[in-house]
Amino acid sequence: MSDMRPLRIAILTISDSRTLETDTSGATLIGRLEKAGHVLATREIVPDEQPIIEAQLRTWIADPRVEVVITTGGTGVTGRDITPEAVEAVCNKMIPGFGEQFRRVSLETIGLAAIQSRACAGLAETTYVFALPGSTGACKDGWDRILEEQLDSRTRPCNFASLIPRLDE
């Protein structure tokens, strides 16, 4: 089996109220990605404002040091939840299977409340963008049950990590 290829992952927390000290979801994702052998490229917290979210995503998409962005927060159905719209605005290809699998996994842990999640993913040029809900439990489920395996270049038969060299073909 080949060696694991560490990815450079940025974490974006989308919240009107969280700070670095209170951002347990972002901290959870950082702990998990580092434990898996990946590198934290950068981390930011932005308010639930679509233009600000899009601007931060576009900055990281243009940065060759960022291969993957994982957002947390803003994926529900309330008026302030606009992360999926921001992700769709910056991505040239959506990855619908991610949201479908996230809701399947969530169904096992939170029951039918999973239907309220608009978790999504897409490809923006050569950068993957994954949008998870803001709860720490949802971030654990998203990482432990989907992203850890799909961002590991050793996962067979296929994974997102091994496709990175071919994303700009």
Domain extent, residue 29, equals 8-162
Q: Which token pair is 126?
A: 């050569």
Q: What is the pLDDT of residue 106?
A: 96
Examine residue 167 and state whether it is found in any structural domain, yes or no: no
Query: Does 68 have pLDDT greater than 60?
Result: yes
Q: What is the pLDDT of residue 28?
A: 98
What CATH number did the domain enclosing 129 receive? 3.40.980.10
The mean per-residue pLDDT over the stretch 6-22 comes to 96
Rounded distance, CA 157 to CA 111, Å? Answer: 30
Which stretch of DSSP H or E encloses residue 129? strand 127-132
Examine residue 29 and state whether it is found in any structural domain, yes or no: yes
Q: For residue range 93-111, list pLDDT tens digits in order.
A: 999 999 999 999 999 999 9
Pick the more confident residue, 102 or 1: 102
Look up the pTM and report it. Answer: 0.97
| Total count of domains within the chain | 1
- Of 140, 158, 147, nearest in space to 68 by CA: 147
Give 1's pLDDT tier (boundaries 50, 70, 90): low
Q: For residue range 135-169, list pLDDT tens digits in order.
A: 999 999 999 999 999 999 999 999 999 999 999 88
42, 48 contact by CB (below 8 A): no
Rounded distance, CA 144 to CA 139, Å? Answer: 8
Pairing of strands 120-124, 93-94: antiparallel
Rounded distance, CA 113 to CA 94, Å? Answer: 23
Average per-residue pLDDT for the chain: 96
Q: What is the pLDDT of residue 3?
A: 86
Q: What is the pLDDT of residue 113?
A: 94
Give 51's pLDDT tier (boundaries 50, 70, 90): very high
Sheet holding 93-94, edge to edge: 39-46, 8-14, 68-72, 127-132, 120-124, 93-94
Rounded distance, CA 60 to CA 126, Å? Answer: 11
